């Protein structure tokens, strides 16, 4: 019996003696089943082959990512506040070094995740830090493959986590797509932590949107407008994406407005 992890998306499943027939997340068109079929691993297996890297991005913001690349390659972000530490998004590998690192910063108060592709081993993370709450938007409830009492589904357009951290429902890539507004950082100018609900493109001068990244299926115009409207009233100068160095360092609100306009113009005939 083991909690198996999909090697293609990192999702952990309920304990079972045999692998599922397939991973529902990868069968969905927003991911893809590899040509060789679904493959599986466990946390114990991962701990012998992978390790996590830690980066201080700026005061009160740390990145945690896995090397070698596994499987989507996103990194989590840890935000420090006077109220405690909050983990934004999640990665599959959790080991003793990672637990020691986070405990050295004061542990975790809660976990919040942008969308199902980053649910990964979220229950393991919660239990390792005292079964802290995991906040997911209820619109994506069907994608939870390992239910647990630590998971709290929230509804509506906004949820306050405390000390200037707010979850903002944007939709888009997934029905429950969420970003995190960090009002106090950096330098009090505010920041958005966006996963890939809003995608920082490689040159870091623009943002973009997709319904399916591996399928290269764009997000419809009305859903892009909905994302933009969801964050329009917020103050933010920086945006932190889902991968190392995918950041908009300044003027992020103007970059978002310009990028939305560029995207909508590209969709027009």
Kindly report the CATH number assigned to the domain that includes residue 203: 3.60.15.10
Looking at the structure of the chain, the number of domains it has is: 1
At 211 the pLDDT is 97
* CA separation for the pair 167, 159 (Å, rounded): 5
* CA separation for the pair 177, 188 (Å, rounded): 25
Of 150, 190, 194, give the one whose Cα is nearest residue 171.
Answer: 194
At 33 the pLDDT is 86
Please say whether the dihedral angle defined by the alpha carbons of residues 194, 196, 202 and 207, taken in this order, is positive or negative.
Answer: negative
Q: Taking the complete model, does pTM exceed 0.85, yes or no?
A: yes
At 188 the pLDDT is 94
At 34 the pLDDT is 84
Of 60, 84, 88, 85, give the one whose Cα is nearest residue 74.
Answer: 88
At 37 the pLDDT is 80
Per-residue pLDDT of the chain (269 residues; tens, 9 = 90+): 899 999 999 999 999 989 988 899 999 999 988 888 889 999 999 999 999 999 999 999 999 999 999 999 999 999 999 999 999 999 999 999 999 999 999 999 999 999 999 999 999 999 999 999 999 999 999 999 999 999 999 999 999 998 899 999 999 999 999 999 999 999 999 999 999 999 999 999 999 999 999 999 999 999 999 999 999 999 999 999 999 999 999 999 999 999 999 999 999 97
* CA separation for the pair 242, 89 (Å, rounded): 8
Of 192, 194, 168, 190, give the one whose Cα is nearest residue 235.
Answer: 190
Domain that holds residue 64: 5-267
């Amino acid at each position: 019996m083991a909690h198996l992890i999909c090697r293609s998306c990192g999702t952990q499943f309920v304990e079972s003696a045999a692998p599922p027939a397939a991973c529902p997340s990868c069968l969905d068109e927003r991911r893809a089943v590899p040509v060789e079929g679904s493959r599986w691993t466990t946390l114990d297996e991962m701990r012998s082959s992978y390790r996590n890297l830690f980066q201080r991005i700026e005061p009160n913001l740390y990145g945690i990512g896995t090397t070698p690349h596994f499987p989507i390659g996103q990194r989590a972000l840890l935000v420090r506040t006077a109220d405690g530490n909050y983990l934004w998004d999640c990665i599959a590998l959790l080991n003793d070094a990672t637990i020691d690192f986070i405990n050295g910063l004061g542990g975790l108060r809660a976990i919040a995740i942008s969308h199902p592709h980053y649910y990964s081993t979220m229950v393991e993370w919660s239990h390792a830090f005292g079964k802290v709450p995991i906040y997911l938007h209820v619109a994506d409830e069907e994608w939870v493959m390992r239910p647990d009492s630590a998971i709290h589904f929230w509804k509506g357009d906004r949820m306050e986590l405390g000390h200037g951290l707010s979850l903002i429902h944007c939709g888009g890539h997934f029905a429950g797509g969420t970003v995190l507004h960090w009002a106090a950082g950096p330098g009090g100018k505010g920041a958005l932590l966006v996963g890939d609900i809003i995608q920082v493109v490689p040159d870091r001068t623009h943002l973009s949107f997709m319904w399916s990244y591996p399928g290269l299926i764009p997000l419809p115009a009305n859903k892009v407008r909905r994302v933009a409207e969801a964050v329009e009233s917020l103050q933010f100068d920086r945006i932190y994406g889902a991968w190392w160095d995918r950041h908009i360092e300044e003027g992020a609100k103007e970059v978002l407005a310009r990028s939305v306009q560029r995207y909508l113009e590209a969709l027009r005939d």
